[in-house]
Structure 1
Amino acid sequence: MVTSSVFYTTQQASESPYNYVPTEWICIFFVVSYSISTAIHMGQAFKYKLWWMIPTATFAGVLEIFGWSARLWSSRSPQLLTPFEMQLVGTIIAPTPLVAANFIILGKIITQLGPQFSRLTPNMYTVVFCSFDVICLTIQAVGGAFAAQAVNQGQSPTFGGHIMLGGIAAQLFSIVIYVALAAEFLLRRKYNAPFRHQDIRFGKGQRSISKKMQRTISGLSFCTLCIFIRSVYRTVELADGWSGLVISTEVYFNWLDGAFVTVAIYTLNIMHPGICLRLDTITHASQQAEDEADQDYYYRHRLPLRRG
């Protein structure tokens, strides 16, 4: 009886487009986990009126729910191609909006800590990186659609896989550039080496980084690291081929995709910009008031000298 069950499971795995049967309880775990995080993100977006978190972090959660629900379907009907195609598109593009949220948050951090230390202006992080992110998302979606269509027609999904690989590799490249610019900004601020001239009227100089802001930067760094590791895994997975060892091993996908993206999206729940940057904005406003007082003092004492 046991031998018959093992044989049936092995036969299911060999006939499955995954080359294995997705584990049901793991799929349920990730569906529930992403549902909770997505609901929290939606609530936080409304509470703090950060509407840009809806098409970014919240939408990423929706895509993950979609992808893992399809894997749950596959765990019960492993031979069906429709749920395989759904999870292929859902899980491959889901982290892309999450990366966009990180780009925007970095711009807001730079706005508070000193735009003069950044190679790009804060708005440029949103415009340039998010635009590139949309391109990567489109490439991955198109590749996923081609691959899914090929599987459905009984053809090789290699062409679509190559397109997806290009989209993920491009996203990986953008993350590397983003991290390099962020690191440069923090180092230039630490050593007071601005790119642009800092007005001497603001005599108080740069303010220190608060503990809340430090936690925000740490959370953003950790979230980015998780997504980076996931992107490396998916790059290796697709480069290894549709019948390779990496794509055929469920535990790799569960840990290096599911787990890392879960940790990343919950990190943004905990280190939400509405929580972590809101109070720091108040501090920034207070500092700005002090700077304006310094400016007034400067002119009141400087102008008489100019007349003489």
Structure 2
Amino acid sequence: MASSTFVLYHYTPTVIGAVLFAALFLLSTVFHLYQRVRTHAKYFNPFIVGGIFQVIGYGARAVSHFHTTLTTLYAMQTLFILLAPTLYAASIYMVLGRVIKSIKGEHLSYVPVRFMTKIFVMGDVTSFILQGAGGGVMSSSGSSNLLVIGQWIIVGGLGVQLVFFGAFLITSIIFHCRITRSPTEESQSSVASGLIPRDWRGLLFALYTVSVLILIRSVYRVVEFAQGNNGYVISHEVFLYVFDASMMFLVMVMMNIFHPSVVLGRNDTAASRELKNLRSENRPASADRQC
């Protein structure tokens, strides 16, 4: 691996913090994998990959404690930790469209549901590519110029993420307000009781929560990279664990607790049951016609 005389860290990365969060992300990711297998929620595949990225990123960061001058290792831990929230976002975008469809609220959505996932995921992919390219530039050489260029490319990718996540949050809130004022039959029939409702309302609030957490983290990252390698934020490791690691772990745990399959799976089951009933009702009539 390439090493650099340029100062990559203004501190020695902590082993304890990196190992701790690698372990925490691993536990949450394993649980997400179990939930994915049990519920067949394919739309959560990117989210699980994001968890794997976090484990690799913080694992590489733990190793960086012993190799603080290795540019490749530095870029590796930076890139994997940076890209994980982008993968979370891809799954979150797909969930909103499914929620809207499950309660027959397509006519209340500000963004047409048939385009919603495509629009937001396209922005997410653009952000992913820019951040990945920035990390690639950073790892290509140990020179200060390339590191600065890579950092600004990453800032551009984070900016795209902020714009699309902000638009997604606005879209979600507008739909929520409209469905509350003009509820559909499906939205009313699927309402569950309890302090924290395990229905489409609870799932939307979970999406709001994780979206805000990712937005806060993205703002922190923009400030970090915009200040440059000698900035105050990047020079203090505590910011990484407070505004990135902790926030993203909460995102994963929140979606463990409010897994979309609890709502979407139940609606899918109800829809399948209704379809079977319709088929069974029509089958005798078809048989009589044949006779």
* Residue 239 of structure 1: how far off its partner (Å): 1.0
The answer as to 2:100 corresponding to 1:110 is yes
Residue of structure 1 equivalent to 2:153: 163
Unaligned runs of 5+ in 2: 279-291
| Among 194, 199, 202, the residue aligned to 1:215 | 202
Residue of structure 1 equivalent to 2:286: none
Q: Is the 8 A contact 1:24 1:76 kept in 2?
A: no
| Among 248, 252, 268, the residue aligned to 1:265 | 252
Residue of structure 2 equivalent to 1:246: 233
Q: Is the 8 A contact 2:83 2:132 kept in 1?
A: yes
Residue of structure 1 equivalent to 2:63: 73
Residue of structure 1 equivalent to 2:17: 26
Unaligned runs of 5+ in 1: 1-13, 199-203, 293-308
| Among 198, 213, 224, the residue aligned to 2:211 | 224
Q: Which amino acid aligns with 1:36?
A: L
What does 1:137-176 align with in structure 2 at a 5 Å threshold? 137-150=128-141, 152-153=142-143, 155-176=145-166
Structure 2 CA distance, aligned partners of 1:205 and 1:32? 41
Q: 1:286 to 1:51 in 2, by over 3 A?
A: closer
* Residue 261 of structure 1: how far off its partner (Å): 0.6
What does 1:41-190 align with in structure 2 at a 5 Å threshold? 41-54=32-45, 56-113=46-103, 114-150=105-141, 152-153=142-143, 155-190=145-180
What is the Cα-based RMSD across aligned positions, in Å?
A: 2.5
1:170-200 deviations in Å (ceiling 9; x for gaps)? 100101000111111011112229xxxx9xx
Q: Is the 8 A contact 1:168 1:231 kept in 2?
A: yes
Structure 1 CA distance, aligned partners of 2:76 and 2:186? 53
Q: Which amino acid aligns with 2:241?
A: N
Structure 2 CA distance, aligned partners of 1:187 and 1:135? 29
Q: Report sequence identity in percent.
A: 25
Q: 1:115 to 1:289 in 2, by over 3 A?
A: farther
Structure 1 CA distance, aligned partners of 2:271 and 2:12? 53
1:78-115 deviations in Å (ceiling 9; x for gaps)? 23323211111111111101011110111111112311
Structure 2 CA distance, aligned partners of 1:246 and 1:262? 20
TM-score (norm 1): 0.80
Q: Looking at CA atoms only, which structure, 1 or 2, has the larger radius of gyration? A: 1
TM-score (norm 2): 0.84
User: How many aligned residue pairs are there?
Assistant: 267
SS of the residue corresponding to residue 212 of structure 1 reads coil
Structure 2 CA distance, aligned partners of 1:219 and 1:142? 31
SS of the residue corresponding to residue 277 of structure 1 reads helix
1:275-295 deviations in Å (ceiling 9; x for gaps)? 2332244456789999x9xxx
Mean alpha-carbon deviation: is it higher for 36-45 or for 226-235? Answer: 36-45
